[in-house]
A and B are shown apart, each in its own frame.
Chain A
């Protein structure tokens, strides 16, 4: 049996550049950066004080009445996923229980799945602190008092806000997706690995439609602190936030945390054609691999894992490297990581590497953890529709001889690749092609 073809029919994106993919696109063309000084909390004692924060989200308006009570159980990560998924399902012109509750749905719920990559969701510290104060004695936490009195003051369903599968679960409930359901947790590679798995499932006839992607809020004191401790974040640009994230630039000094979600509606080609759905692109190649150094943080300087994932994706797409019209790499803006990525790209693309146009999304919205690679993929689909590559910001003195695009460039985008890696070593690449 020939493999079924899988296309992207809808996209949703929430990022520091707006609540929708339209806002985002507009900001890309206007060369705007979403990175600012952190507003969610006072970052004065953090080494890195800038971030890509998303706007406030209108949950009550957006979530259908039947599920509105459950918005109280949505951590920020879940909210981001729910909003982007709603955007994507509407963009795909799909009638679901969520988008058209009064009408018959045009998906078969049991053939429709969900797979949203999630991070290590951080708890709302002030909410927890308010309960913890009932578990302290002499200003110190007491296990005894917490067990006797403190924990009872924590809201009963507290844990459900922080389970990584709750992004997928809320989305499955809102849109009535009863088919295969998963929640990939591979840190910054989660978003693309989730879409890759969804691609395989549809192609192997396990589902017809899957809402897939990733979301995470890294603009949380705990999440930011973790990145500060790993010394992965920018510290030199706290006074000039929009300059802080500089993928592949020789003055880069670390990544910048962000929050956001990227969600796609994947659909079997004929299923999409039958209902006359808009088609962004077909997924024609996918590859995943593993590599990280003994510190569990950085890829090797040769970027072997990155090269392997790209090579696998290219092989499946049956495209020669010079047929790829643009690459959206991970581009974390961590100098040693960027170096590994550059070398991985060079190994995999060979002679075609120096001409390959590159756009690094993180220079605009920061590093959205489990959402990052999905935001990259959504960006790729969006740019293919417009045949235009936006400018990388801050790559003033490229640290590598790659074709880092520094002004908006119109060009035919027929085949586009995105690639990602993460601390911990999980790596993936995907090829999108025009139908």
Chain B
């Protein structure tokens, strides 16, 4: 059996730089920043007081047919982003919303789903109230009787259920009437790249013909920001938020927390052809590895990252000389950017200096679980328009970061094959390679 070819037939995003692919791309080309003061809660005394939020006027129901809206009204913040991104991708792929008997070529059990979905944001005020009321600061003990009483009165069944990480996928499966395999994974900042890669495997092994893949996340809530601030992972450049995300720059001081979602439709080429669906790119290969080193740090030699890139190249059947562009993980933390640079140099050797590498996190911030798929979509667009998105805020190169990072303005360049890198806390490494489609 010849290997199946898998293509991308739809893309969609909800991001701080726009809630559709074209707007996001235009603004990335304009080097705009999606970063500003945090307004979803009062972060004015937090070490990091800014983030990249999805615009307030985003309405996840606006694009849905009236009769499909009801059961998604109470979706969690992350699921709302996911619905918007997924519906765009679904429509671009010319799939019926919802799947129905009118198009017998598509059987709902042959359609699958694989998301790298973050948990929904905590219902913070209602979560914290019983914790404060039940706590005895003298004995340093919780009075569970009080906690239980207050919690029961304040918390809501649906708001709690919506925090479960499988719920974004559940909303999509209900919305589109998918009955095939529906997976969610949450491998930290690599999750949606992982999900897209596993979706590729799902089609390859015959479990589905069409898979909606991607991810969503919002950790812009008090404990999310607290957690990252305590890890000293976030930039604290409070006086200049739009210049805070500085991947590969000497003055970088951490990443900028963002939120949003991205979705791609992966499809067996034969299925796409049968439906005359638009073919946006071909997915060539995927690599997934673990550093197996420490939960706190990446391996200093980047061993897991190197192995993942090598696996992806091998899986794609291409060599280092074939890669025209690398969309880096490029978070803007001291550790990530130097190790990622080292990973690229280790695999590409001298060729590393000839391959442009950029980080759209400089403009979008870090969408955590959703980051990878949004970045993959920028690779699809780079291939479409033969132009590379820049790394903005790159004014003083770190001597440890000496590659071509496409600084500060987009660049016209031939892009046939692009690679998208994602790395996650705990040592998750996920790489995807895509190619301009040709018969």
Contacts and interface: CB of A to CB of B under 8 A. Distances in A.
Interface of A: 41-46, 70, 73, 109-110, 113-114, 118, 120, 123, 125-126, 128-130, 132-133, 136, 139-141, 143-148, 151, 154-160, 162-166, 168-170, 172-173, 175-187, 189, 193, 197, 200-201, 203-204, 206, 221-222, 225-226, 228-231, 288-292, 294, 296-297, 304-305, 308, 422-426, 428
Interface in B378-417: none
B97 interface: no
A157 B45 CA distance: 21
Interface in B404-438: 424-428
Interface in B191-241: 194, 198, 201, 204-205, 207, 222-223, 226-232
A175 B292 CA distance: 8
B361 interface: no
A169 B295 contact: yes
5 contacts: A126-B142, A143-B222, A200-B201, A230-B157, A423-B164
Q: Among A113, A143, A158, A291, which residue has the most Cβ atoms of chain B within 10 A?
A: A143
A178 to B, nearest CB: 5
A113 B429 CA distance: 12
A160 B231 contact: yes
B144 A200 contact: no
A296 B232 contact: no
A256 to B, nearest CB: 17
B183 A197 contact: yes
Interface in B126-178: 127-129, 131-135, 137, 140-142, 144-145, 147-149, 151-152, 155-157, 160-161, 163-167, 169-170, 173-174, 178
Given A178-B304, A182-B185, A423 B45 contact: no
Contact of A148 (B45, B119, B182, B427): B45
B290 interface: yes
B210 to A, nearest CB: 14
A173 B166 contact: no
Nearest to B291: A178
Given A125-B142, A132-B135, A159-B231, 12 more contacts: A154-B230, A158-B226, A163-B186, A178-B291, A179-B290, A182-B198, A185-B165, A226-B157, A231-B157, A308-B179, A423-B161, A424-B166
Contact of B294 (A168, A173, A178, A294): A173
Nearest to B147: A221
B47 A147 contact: yes
B71 A294 contact: yes
Contact of A151 (B156, B205, B229, B303): B229
Given A129-B132, A169-B295, A290-B179, A229 B290 contact: no
B113 A181 contact: no
B187 A165 contact: yes
Contacts of A422: 166
B292 A46 contact: no
A422 B167 CA distance: 11
A159 B43 contact: no
A146 to B, nearest CB: 7
Contacts of A159: 227-228, 230-231
Contacts of A304: 179
B264 to A, nearest CB: 18
Contacts of B179: 289-291, 304-305, 308
Contacts of B164: 120, 187, 423-424
Contacts of B149: 45
A186 B222 CA distance: 25
Interface of B: 41-47, 71, 109, 112-113, 117, 119, 125, 127-129, 131-135, 137, 140-142, 144-145, 147-149, 151-152, 155-157, 160-161, 163-167, 169-170, 173-174, 178-188, 194, 198, 201, 204-205, 207, 222-223, 226-232, 288-296, 303-304, 307, 424-428
A44 B144 contact: yes
Given A133-B137, A178-B289, A144 B45 contact: yes
A141 B178 CA distance: 43
Contact of B165 (A146, A164, A228, A425): A164
Nearest to B181: A288
Nearest to B42: A143
Contacts of A178: 289-292, 303-304, 307
B426 A165 contact: yes
Contacts of B201: 200-201, 204, 206
B148 A424 contact: no
Nearest to B157: A229
A330 to B, nearest CB: 15
Contact of A308 (B109, B131, B228): B109
A45 B152 contact: yes
B425 A125 contact: no
A182 B194 contact: yes
Nearest to A224: B148
Given A157-B230, A157-B231, A425 B182 contact: yes
A120 B165 contact: yes
Contacts of A162: 227
